[in-house]
């Protein structure tokens, strides 16, 4: 069970505002460039990505979540901050935190071992998350 701190909630709300603004203004959300200086050789590429500061990445509990734009889809991936395996169920709890007003049925899930990937259409996100 996730127990987000007030700081994690504020961070989530800030990131969400950035995501919505990017979608509304048709700006593609890109991952930060890979920085070999800050990356540790044992990091996975996705773990390295969330360890590099960027405006579309957040943290809750033991997890990191990262948004990325893909044409008309929004990609959200979740990893553990320690790089260990993550279950789909744990990742679904992070998705429910990151996008609390979006019905889970609207997500396409691409399961993995060390990362979990969720996709949702921009139009659904705007419809269910913006008042």
Task: Please give the full DSSP string across 2-52, using - where no structure is assigned.
Answer: ----HHHHHHHHHHHHHHHHHHHTTPPP-PPPP-TTT--TT--HHHHHHHS
Q: What is the pLDDT of residue 40?
A: 52
Q: Which among 119, 93, 87 has a CA at the least distance from the CA of 4?
A: 93
By residue count, the chain amounts to 131
Name the residue with higher pLDDT: 131 or 74.
74
Mean pLDDT of the region 106-122: 91
pLDDT above 80: residue 125: no
Interacting residues of 33 by C-beta distance below 8 A, sequence separation 6+: none
Task: Kindly state the average pLDDT of the residues 72-86.
Answer: 92
Question: Which carries the bigger pLDDT value, residue 11 or residue 107?
Answer: 11
């Amino acid at each position: 069970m996730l127990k987000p701190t007030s700081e994690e909630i504020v961070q989530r709300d800030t990131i969400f505002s950035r995501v919505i603004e990017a979608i509304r203004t048709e700006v593609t959300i890109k991952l930060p460039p890979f920085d070999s200086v800050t990356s540790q050789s044992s990091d996975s590429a996705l773990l390295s990505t969330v360890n590099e500061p960027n405006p579309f990445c957040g943290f809750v509990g033991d997890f990191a979540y990262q948004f990325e734009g893909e044409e008309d889809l929004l990609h959200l991936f979740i990893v553990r901050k320690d790089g260990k395996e993550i279950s789909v169920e744990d990742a679904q709890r992070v998705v429910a935190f990151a996008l609390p007003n979006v019905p889970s049925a609207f997500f396409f899930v691409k399961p993995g071992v060390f990362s979990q990937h969720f996709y949702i259409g921009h139009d659904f996100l705007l419809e269910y998350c913006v008042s």
